[in-house]
Amino acid sequence: MLLSLSCFTQARNDSTAIVQLLKADYATMDNMDMTAHINNVTKDYVLIEHGEVWDINTELDSIYRKNAGKTYKRTDFFTFRTVTISGDMAYAIWHLRSEYNDNGIVRVRVWNESGVFRKEQGQWKIALIHSTPERQK
């Protein structure tokens, strides 16, 4: 019984760590903190974006460097559908709503996303994110 409770507690702690990691990583897109983003992902990290498979350098060029002089504030709202953990691997599915506020003009973008996470040296890292824009209704 005690082992079962310990496993449950560890899984809950890992789920919380994964959610916190993901939220912290997305916050790096508001302040364009490339160093923090690189530290949050695995060395073989990939992003599936706009129907393309991007490595870390393509993502840094297409998102971080491209928007380095941005004037808007990005705020992200997550709804997690599931976080599933198996040993040192995990996957999650979430809904993301992002607001871009540029001097009072607000744009909203919405995605359904999934990700694969890997625990390396005791720390969760993002190995893959698949981002799909939600269809306009």
Q: Is 67 in contact with 102 (CB distance < 8 Å)?
A: no
Beta-bridge partner residues of 131: 113
Segments of 1-137 assigned E as strands: 41-49, 52-54, 73-86, 89-102, 105-120, 123-133
Strands 105-120 and 123-133: antiparallel
Question: Which pLDDT tens digit goes with each residue over 7-31?
Answer: 446 667 899 999 999 999 999 999 9
pLDDT of amino acid 10: 63
Ranges of residues in the chain whose predicted pLDDT is under 50: 2-3, 5-8
Question: Which pLDDT tens digit goes with each residue over 98-111?
Answer: 999 999 999 999 99
pLDDT of amino acid 5: 46
φ, ψ for residue 74, nearest 5 deg: -100, 130
Q: List the chain domain ranges.
A: 2-133
Which residues 6+ apart lie within 8 Å of 22 measured at CB?
78, 92, 94, 115, 126
Q: How far apart are CA 124 and CA 122, in angstroms?
A: 7
Q: Is 37 in contact with 28 (CB distance < 8 Å)?
A: yes
pLDDT of amino acid 135: 81
With tokens 């607000």, the residue in question is 106
The CATH number that domain 2-133 falls under is 3.10.450.50
Q: Is 16 in contact with 80 (CB distance < 8 Å)?
A: no
